[in-house]
Structure 1
Amino acid sequence: MMHTSVGWHVEMEFREDDQHTRAVAMVRLPDGSEVRAHGHASRHQTDVNQPRVGEEIAAARALNELAMQLLTKAHGEIDQASGRTSHPIHV
């Protein structure tokens, strides 16, 4: 059995103001395709301004959406190759 090492790099960008943080996550796959996802966080007006916390929440939401898109993409490829409908398990 041959083992190969494969790595993916996820890029994360943020746009912020005093109340909102938006994140965009993007991964380039070995086949050249890209998958992008968005996440958002809002600070309640009574909360202390902690930009890092907003980034973490927005990033987590973007990564969660990215994961769901990758699952959907993978199952579409399984379906196309097998001629049947696969059933993704969402965790």
Structure 2
Amino acid sequence: MPHTLEWTVRLQLFEDDAGTTKAHLILDTGTTELTGHGTAHCHPADSNVPEIGDELAAGRAMNDLARQLLKTVERDIEGMGAPRSHGREAAGWPM
């Protein structure tokens, strides 16, 4: 059955004076809210390029959120009676 949904994603980036960038990513599906976190540290010997820290922290937050979303879907599929996948793609749902 076709359907259309819109999920909202909010990304906040924070950089401190020590060269640490933190990313806070929120996915709101309308029924569930997941939060991903990521951090990037600028090595003292490296040039401080804020865009690189932003990208790295955001990418890590997205990876964190993606892992959480995949765990959620795995639990949801198991809740429908499917056997646990034990590291495989979510119960036969190929990527």
Aligning the two structures, in what range does the TM-score lie when normalised by the shorter sequence?
A: 0.7 to 0.9
Aligned partners of 1:38, 1:16: CA distance in 2, in Å? 14
What TM-score do you get using the length of structure 1 for normalisation? 0.85
Distance 2:36 2:21 in 1: 14
Q: How many residues align?
A: 89
Q: Deviations over 1:23-81 (max 9, x none)?
A: 011101132x2100100000011211111110100000000010010000000000011
Structure 1 residues 71-82: aligned runs within 5 Å: 71-82=70-81
Given that 1:43 and 1:54 are in contact with CA atoms closer than 8 Å, whether structure 2 keeps it comes out as yes
The aligned runs of 1:27-66 (5 Å cut-off) are 27-31=27-31, 33-66=32-65
Unaligned runs of 5+ in 2: none
TM-score, normalised relative to structure 2: 0.81
